Amino acid sequence: MGTPIDIDGHSLSLTIRRSRTARHLALRLSPSGDAVVVSAPPHVSDADLIAFARSKGDWVSRQLSRAPDRILFEPGARVPFSGRLYEIVPVAGGTRAVRLDPEHDRLLVAGRPEHVADQIRGWMRARARERLVDRVSLYCRTLGTSFNHLSLRDTRSRWGSCASSGRLSFSWRLIMAPAPVLDYVAAHEVAHLVEFNHSPRFWALVRDLVGDVQEAKAWLRTEGPGLHRIG
């Protein structure tokens, strides 16, 4: 968790990352627009880093003014699911808290209005787990390997990761992206179970699983950051 900080009137979260390889202080804004990250050499104090972040108020304000507005999980909002936009519509009763109405491009949500955001977030996480477990299992069978555990997180810096122990982790927000993008990330991490590198053999394995990867990689570069501004 970051440290709360006010920068030029913006309430943000500050994360400090120290590195022996860092030569200078550097500040960046998170894709979600609600946090700043300061990178620094090990010897710089927290107080100096906080002062440095606050000194960049003009830059932070300019970046935030250029960023698209945040889209909340609330009635009337249009949010993506598997690459398609759906309008959030509250409904009375119902046996399921959240369900898709693809015919009318609606995401129907039952229950109290104050619970809408949590219900949608939980529903999307569940759908993300279903899809990722299905894809990962298929790709593991194809490559003759296996995974030990699959977890979902709300990571900002990466869409997926693979540990040498066979533990896979993914951003639940992938379920908002087009299905081929989620499939690419799943294939990428499964390929790491066989080749723990980014060698030509690694990329050949990924292409064996999902075909061409350039379109999915380009989508993540251009559209991926916007997923962090949803919800």
- Three-state SS at 40: strand
Long-range contacts of 113-116 (CB under 8 A, 24+ apart): 113/75, 116/73, 116/74, 116/75, 116/88, 116/90
Which residue numbers in the chain have pLDDT < 50?
Answer: none
Tokens for 51, please give them: 């002062």
Q: Quickly tell me which residue has 């949590």 as its tokens.
A: 118
List of residues 6+ apart from 104 with CB closer than 8 A: none
Q: What pLDDT was estimated at residue 14?
A: 92
Closest listed residue to residue 108, CA positions, set 87, 125, 129, 128: 87
Residue 31, token pair as written in the block: 């894709």
Write down the pLDDT at residue 96. 67
pLDDT at 10: 86
Residue type, 199: S
Q: 18: exposed, middle or buried (C-beta count within 10 Å: 0-12, 13-18, 19+)? A: middle
The pLDDT of residue 229 is 87
Beta partners for residue 162, in sequence order: 168
Residue pointed to by tokens 């609330």: 74
**Residue 79, helix vs strand vs coil:** strand
- Alpha carbons within 13 A on the beta-carbon side of 152: 18
Distance CA 175, CA 178 (A): 8
* Separation CA 101–CA 120 (nearest Å): 14
pLDDT in tens, 110-151: 988 888 999 999 999 999 999 999 999 999 999 999 999 999
**SS3 sequence, 129-166?**
HHHHHHHHHHHHHHHCCCCCEEEEECCCCCCEEECCCC
| Nearest CA-CA partner of 152 in 132, 171, 130 | 171
| All domains in the chain, ordered by first residue | 3-66 (no CATH), 78-117 (no CATH), 121-227 (3.30.2010.10)
Q: Is 94 helix (H, G, I), strand (E, B) or coil?
A: coil
Distance, in Å, from the CA atom of 20 to the CA atom of 2, rounded to the nearest integer, reads 21
